[in-house]
Amino acid sequence: MSSQSMQSPQHAQEHEHVPSQSVFGFWAYLMTDCVLFASLFATFAMFAMETVGGPTGKDLFKLNDVGFETGLLLASSLTFGFAMISATRQKTCMTLAWLVVTFALGAGFLYLELHEFAHLVAAGAGPSRSAFWSAFFTLVGTHGLHVTLGMIWMLVLIVQMVLKTGSEERRLRRLACLSLFWHFLDIVWICVFSFVYLASFV
């Protein structure tokens, strides 16, 4: 009886440390992603003028399309915020609804990005055309890959919420981590829009 009473506080303390450790680990991952994107931005800046006489960003970028693309991603960040508010209030149906809307906005963003890539390749500005376009496709493509992974993660969480797998606390913690990741991608895209697209017209 005494051994159980001695072990139970220890188990409770270990259980209490798991959420903080997982959240800390995710913050550490975000820091490595910051380093990754900082390196890609630095590489793009180095090759911003290396078009080898080929088309430049100003020649081919369509700011209206990119602006709409940016609006979709920013709107998805807002709807994800509504999903988190609903989740903390334990309103599962509303949380699922907002996550589905967020997923749809993310899918629209990816569609427009792939459409832009196809347009650039058709215009002779593929990744192998020059150092500028190679750096552009690497930076924007890496961000698009992260959005894709975030959407897969979101889909998994939606399924888990529908099937009610795991504890509610664990699902909320995973949703909070994904929320950090999604907002981080928004910040990165604002930097892409400003320093890649807008800067090409200055």
pLDDT tens per residue, range 144-200: 999 999 999 999 999 999 988 777 788 888 999 999 999 999 999 999 999 999 998
Q: What is the pLDDT of residue 200?
A: 87
Domain 22-39+63-201: CATH superfamily is: Cytochrome c oxidase, subunit III, four-helix bundle (1.20.120.80)
The tokens describing 112, both together, are 């427009």
Report yes or no: 142 and 155 within 8 Å, Cβ to Cβ: no
The tokens describing 66, both together, are 């990119």
Q: What is the pLDDT of residue 2?
A: 44
Helices 168-192 & 131-163 angle (0-180, nearest 10)? 160
Q: How far apart are CA 147 and CA 10, in angstroms?
A: 40
Q: What is the pLDDT of residue 51?
A: 86
The tokens describing 156, both together, are 């998994």
Q: What is the pLDDT of residue 21?
A: 66
> pTM here?
0.86
- Per-position pLDDT tens, the chain of length 202: 444 444 444 444 444 444 556 677 788 888 999 999 999 999 999 998 988 888 999 999 999 999 999 999 999 999 999 999 999 998 999 999 999 999 999 999 999 999 999 999 999 999 999 999 999 999 999 999 999 999 999 999 999 999 887 777 888 889 999 999 999 999 999 999 999 999 988 7
CA angle 144, 201, 58 (to 5 degrees): 70
Q: How far apart are CA 93 and CA 156, in angstroms?
A: 16
Q: For the chain, give every domain's residue range.
A: 22-39+63-201
Q: What is the pLDDT of residue 170?
A: 85
Q: What is the pLDDT of residue 20?
A: 58
